[in-house]
Amino acid sequence: MRTARFFVAPVTAAALALSLAACGSGGGAADDSTITVAYQKFGNFTQADELFKKVKPAFEEANPGITVELVPIEAQQNDYFTKLALMNRSPSTAPDVMYEDTFMIKSDVEAGYLQPLDDYLAEWDEWDQFVDGAKEAGAGDDGKTYGVSMGTDTRGLWFNKDVLAKAGLPEDWAPKSWDELLEAARTIKESDPDVVPFNMYSGKPQGEAAVMQGFEMLLYGTGDTLYEDGKWVLGSQGFIDALGFVETVFTEGLAPTPQQALDTNIGNTVQGEWLPEGRVGIALDGSWVAGNWLESGAAPWPEWSEKMGTAPMPTQEGQDPGAVSMSGGWTLAMGAGSENPDAAFEFISMALNRENSLWFDVANSQIAVRTDVAEDPEYTKSNPTTKFFTDLVDVTNFRPATSDYPKVSNEIMVAMEAVMTGQQTPEEAAAAYDEAVAGIVGDENTTQG
Amino acid sequence: MAVTSRGVARVVPLAPAVVLLALFMLGPVVWSFYGSFTNAALTGPAALNPEWIGLDNYTALLGDPEFPKSLWLTVVFVFLSAVVGQNVMGILLAGLLRSAVKPVRSIASTVVVAAWVLPEIVAAFAAYAFFHSEGTLNTMLAGIGVTGPDWLYSTPMLAVIVANIWRGTAFSMMVYSAALAEVPPELTEAAQLDGANGMQRLAWVTLPVIRRSISTNLMLTTLQTLSVFTLIYVMTGGGPGTDSSTLPILAYQEAFKFAQVGYGTAIATVMIIVGAVFSVIYIRALRPEVD
């Protein structure tokens, strides 16, 4: 279907003109003396930008004649995927190296955007420093490795100790079930109606953050799951219950108003302003949040380690294992059309060598995936929450590793938004989700939960 | 022979324009129509090799509960903001300004045209700031002791419709000012002598004379409003939920947020059909070419 590719060309061209104009950089990767590196830079997330700005001069010095062109894409997460996909469609704009979310790898491999790295990794003497989980996270459906992990993450509850103390909740607060969590949120609401008791991301504008930090943290604590034995689980009670939790927090006013929650910038606002200012009590969020508050972060807050507490996200009724977490992480991947793959890999290996991985994991509060970094005192002492979030690895879950996942994830955002705005009941939204997923993956790939 | 060479001589200077138009206007339209029959996507296997899937996108669209809602919202948006709002406001303003004194006329038309002169993105942000829960409108309401609702959230369609009327009325006003100036004064004077009052003169003399302008203007504003994207996207993002997702917003969301380009182009094709239906209605109802 050669012809079918043509029609997207105008669309691609238009969108590219926009995205390239937006990031103020009109380069292409058409020759082998330039390595283009595409990555996200948005709001409080500037660590990747800093990392690549650090690596660029070192790389250019070590490789005379090769220029590194950095292409920061200033877009919210879902728009970042869209812009990256559009860049990848045209050989003249496809980057050599890209900042790639693990959950997009399988899908982008099937789209032909990425290049396997196995030959390079076999010769890279530092590859055995990476833990097995990180190696798997970068694999495509064909078993080859496409991404080199930059770090991983877990998710849990952050809380502002001052806000909880005011509501009479202890400093070592740790809910045992959803009900205890909701009870605490209601108590905070009573003690101070101006505070947002509980924040979770929800709805289409928050993209994968809503699905992973929000919905899946609930669903995987019900005993049900999204995907089991190669089939998508439909009609599970856990799915409805998780949506029911979303409905409760938004209709009872325990969460931000739906309009605030649907603002693209809520993530930056919560992490950069509301938590430090004590305007949010409890936040269901990622292990990297503290990265904002470090001196190198976007919203430095020196007192954060005294003011903020952490607790694992409980399972629905407190059933085993008592807590739940989700893990993901980002990788560096190589574009399929790279004119100079040797240099591109050289860049990746330099950006993720021991020193730079250590810098990135500390600055971005990532959980290290390199053994030598994980043992480094600079890493273990960098952040008082490192141990807490690293321990959550014991109860963590991974998203379904299939190329359909990004599409299914979109349907979860739609269901969340329908419930949080009161347009559908959890049952109706779950039924609409079931129908949509069956349409995406085919009835034969689904099972009743 | 002479005829052919003259024909060629006439065509040659046109060729570059025709080629450019075909390349940049017709080409994308045709390919988008073609794309609506494929499963083209931004990621996944279909990104590399889109396949011909016939009418699957259209059957999926018809089965999608979002679609009838979005179609209905589009019709409501176009009807209330373009057909009723911009046209009625436009003709009223044009009529009133004709009889107004000069300073009033210049000031009023400058104010109206200002909204039209603003780039769409700026106008959209201005409307957003106006309707926001802590925006201009609610601040003014608070001044008289009224607590306004969160317009963009509780009445998103009302907010975008009013914003679009504000933004687009200038165009209709200018079209109708020109049309009214062309109405021969002897016709209205004759009607006046025969005892017709103001309303009767408008209904039986002025409107029939300017009906070509009405039909053209209706068609232009309708097609323009049908494709309004920036205004709605900036103000409400199509939300809350899908409560202000007109067809352009839905098409963008499916194609670029959810990466299903084929499905998105199918929605775009439906928009063309909706526009065609509106156009046919105007042409039939007002028959501009028969005098």
**Domain extents in chain B:** 56-286
- Tens digit of pLDDT at every position of chain A (449 positions): 343 444 444 444 444 333 433 443 434 444 678 999 999 998 878 889 999 999 999 999 999 999 999 999 998 888 899 999 999 988 889 999 999 999 889 889 988 999 999 999 999 999 999 988 888 888 888 889 999 999 999 999 999 999 999 999 999 999 999 999 999 999 999 999 999 999 999 998 888 999 999 999 999 999 999 998 889 999 999 999 999 999 999 999 999 998 889 887 888 889 989 999 999 999 999 998 988 898 878 889 999 989 999 999 999 999 989 999 999 889 999 999 899 999 999 999 999 999 999 999 998 888 889 999 988 999 888 888 988 998 888 888 888 878 888 889 999 999 999 999 988 999 999 999 999 899 888 899 999 87
ω into residue A312 within 30 of 0, thus cis? no
Nearest CA in chain B to A7: B31
Give the pLDDT confidence of B145-157 residue by residue, as tens digits. Answer: 888 888 888 899 9
Query: Smallest Cα–Cα separation from A309: which of A239, A252, A416, A384?
Result: A384
Domain spanning A30-153+328-397: which CATH class is it, in words? Answer: alpha beta
Do A192 and A166 meet the contact criterion of CB atoms below 8 Å apart? yes
- What's the CATH architecture for A155-327+402-448? 3-Layer(aba) Sandwich (3.40)
Would you call A282 helix, strand, or coil by DSSP? strand
Q: Can you read off the two tokens belonging to residue A439?
A: 């349409």
| Residue B71: partners with Cβ closer than 8 Å, 6 or more residues away | B247, B270, B274
Residue A59 CA to residue A49 CA, distance in Å, equals 15
Considering only the beta carbons, identify the residue of B38, B44, B253 that sits closest to A111.
B44
Contact B50 A1 (CB under 8 A): yes
Domain boundaries, chain A: 30-153+328-397, 155-327+402-448
Contact A423 B31 (CB under 8 A): no
How many other C-beta atoms can be found within 10 angstroms of the C-beta atom of residue B140?
A: 12
Contact B42 A7 (CB under 8 A): no
Nearest CA in chain A to B38: A4
Query: Smallest Cα–Cα separation from A134: which of A292, A300, A333, A328?
Result: A328
Class of residue B220 by CB neighbours under 10 A (exposed 0-12, middle 13-18, buried 19+): middle
| Residue B188: partners with Cβ closer than 8 Å, 6 or more residues away | B201, B205, B206
| Residue A170: partners with Cβ closer than 8 Å, 6 or more residues away | A164
Do B201 and B192 meet the contact criterion of CB atoms below 8 Å apart? yes
Confidence of residue B287 (pLDDT cuts 50, 70, 90): low
Q: Would the pLDDT of B93 be above 80?
A: yes
Our CA-based measurement puts residue B276 at a distance from the nearest CA of chain A, in whole angstroms, of 23
Q: Which of B29, B43, B62, B260 to mutate to probe the A interface, most A CBs <10 Å?
A: B43
DSSP 8-state symbol, B52 = B
Considering only the beta carbons, identify the residue of A10, A108, A110 that sits closest to B28.
A10
Residue A375 CA to residue A193 CA, distance in Å, equals 44
A to B CB pairs, distance under 8 Å = 122
Directed axis angle between helix B120-131 and helix B156-181, to 10°?
A: 130
Query: Does the reported pTM lie above 0.90?
Result: no
Directed axis angle between helix A4-22 and helix B261-286, to 10°?
A: 90
DSSP 8-state symbol, A302 = T
For residue B133, list chain A residues with Cβ-Cβ distance below 8 A: 259
For residue A204, list chain B residues with Cβ-Cβ distance below 8 A: 239, 253, 257
Our CA-based measurement puts residue A122 at a distance from the nearest CA of chain B, in whole angstroms, of 27
Give start and end residues of each alpha helix (H) in A131-209: 132-137, 161-166, 178-191, 208-209
Contact B258 A407 (CB under 8 A): yes
Query: Smallest Cα–Cα separation from A116: which of A324, A336, A316, A304?
Result: A336
| Residue B238: partners with Cβ closer than 8 Å, 6 or more residues away | B232, B244, B245, B246, B249, B250, B253
Give the pLDDT confidence of A316-340 residue by residue, as tens digits. Answer: 999 989 999 999 889 999 999 899 9
Give the pLDDT confidence of B62-92 residue by residue, as tens digits. Answer: 888 889 999 999 999 999 999 899 999 999 9
Question: Long-range contacts for B114-120 (Cβ within 8 Å, ≥24 apart)?
Answer: B114/B170, B115/B166, B115/B167, B115/B169, B115/B170, B116/B167, B116/B168, B116/B169, B116/B170, B116/B171, B118/B167, B120/B167, B120/B230, B120/B231
Average pLDDT on B196-223 reads: 87
Helix (H) or strand (E) holding A71: strand A67-73
For residue B32, list chain A residues with Cβ-Cβ distance below 8 A: 7, 11
For residue B242, list chain A residues with Cβ-Cβ distance below 8 A: 418, 423
Considering only the beta carbons, identify the residue of A10, A205, A406 that sits closest to B43.
A406
Residue ranges of chain A whose CB lies within 8 Å of a chain B CB: 1, 3-11, 15, 78-79, 81-82, 85-86, 89, 104, 107-108, 110-113, 203-205, 257-259, 262, 264, 403-404, 406-407, 410, 417-418, 421, 423, 432, 439
Residue A313 CA to residue A147 CA, distance in Å, equals 29
* A165-183 residues labelled b (16+ CB within 10 A) or e (exposed): ebbebeeebbbebbeebbe
Q: Hey, what CATH topology would domain B56-286 get?
A: MetI-like fold (1.10.3720)
Nearest CA in chain B to A85: B42
Contact A423 B51 (CB under 8 A): no
Helix (H) or strand (E) holding A221: none
Q: In whole angstroms, what separates CA B37 from the centre of its chain? A: 27
DSSP string of B235-258, one letter each residue: HTTT-STTTT--HHHHHHIIIIIS
Considering chain A, what percentage of its residues have pLDDT values greater than 90?
62
Contact B256 A4 (CB under 8 A): no
Q: Which of B42, B257, B265 to mutate to probe the A interface, most A CBs <10 Å?
A: B42
Q: Can you read off the two tokens belonging to residue A242?
A: 């998780």
Considering only the beta carbons, identify the residue of B240, B255, B256 that sits closest to A421.
B240
Contact A406 B32 (CB under 8 A): no
Do B93 and B170 meet the contact criterion of CB atoms below 8 Å apart? no
Helix/strand/coil percent split, chain A, to 5: 50, 20, 35
For residue B262, list chain A residues with Cβ-Cβ distance below 8 A: none
